[in-house]
Structure 1
């Protein structure tokens, strides 16, 4: 075995570690689209069914990523981000997981689709979020 081939077998597999780590990027700071949303009172209206409208005071736009796991410290990973949308996968140890896509129509209107597991049961929903005022 020549020296180059020997180095590949020693270093080669280790060289993949940074690539793998780069795929698991935390959503904190990696979702610039969310920073463009206006802060204040938002109304979340369900799409396609008669669920009641929900109101939230949006201080941290990242809270829109895990509506069904609100207030829980969850590990978040950015799956895809563009200028007007973001998809994030998250896992809340012992509490469930989810996958959320937020599409921005304007700084005051978003469309959110989320699905996952909460309390050992599946959930799936679509809502339209609109800024309605101040908190």
Structure 2
């Protein structure tokens, strides 16, 4: 499902809170780790459907997460992610929209 997303600059807006974040999407996997931005995390695809994907990931020394991305179309997705970062739990819900090129 992630390979079908438009490449380029995306804006992620959290439903309750933080300011929008810019994400440069090259493969779609950049949207999986919204809270853990570092490279080197392991990812495991739990479920991959035509319009949704769920990925579990682990970042050694910084925590883990489980993210579900539901595609509205190739330029708009709904994202829900939860896990642990730095010993603290997190839950994020929001949407990401393609806004241009990186």
Q: TM-score, normalised by structure 1?
A: 0.72
SS of residue paired to 2:61: coil
- The residue number in structure 1 matching 2:76 is 109
Is 2:18 the partner of 1:41? no
Bigger Rg, structure 1 or 2 = 1
Q: TM-score, normalised by structure 2?
A: 0.93
Uncovered stretches (5+) of structure 2, i.e. residues with no partner: none
Where do residues 1-135 of structure 1 align in structure 2 (5 Å cutoff)? 33-47=1-15, 49-135=16-102
Relative to total residues, which structure has the larger helix share, 1 or 2? Answer: 1
1:19-77: CA deviation from partner (whole Å, max 9, x where unpaired)? xxxxxxxxxxxxxx100000111111111x13211112212311111111112311211
CA distance in 1, matches of 2:39, 2:63: 10
Count of matched residue positions in the alignment of Structure 1 and Structure 2: 102
CA distance in 2, matches of 1:133, 1:68: 22
Uncovered stretches (5+) of structure 1, i.e. residues with no partner: 1-32
Tell me: higher relative CO, structure 1 or 2? Use CA pairs within 8 A at least 6 residues apart: 2
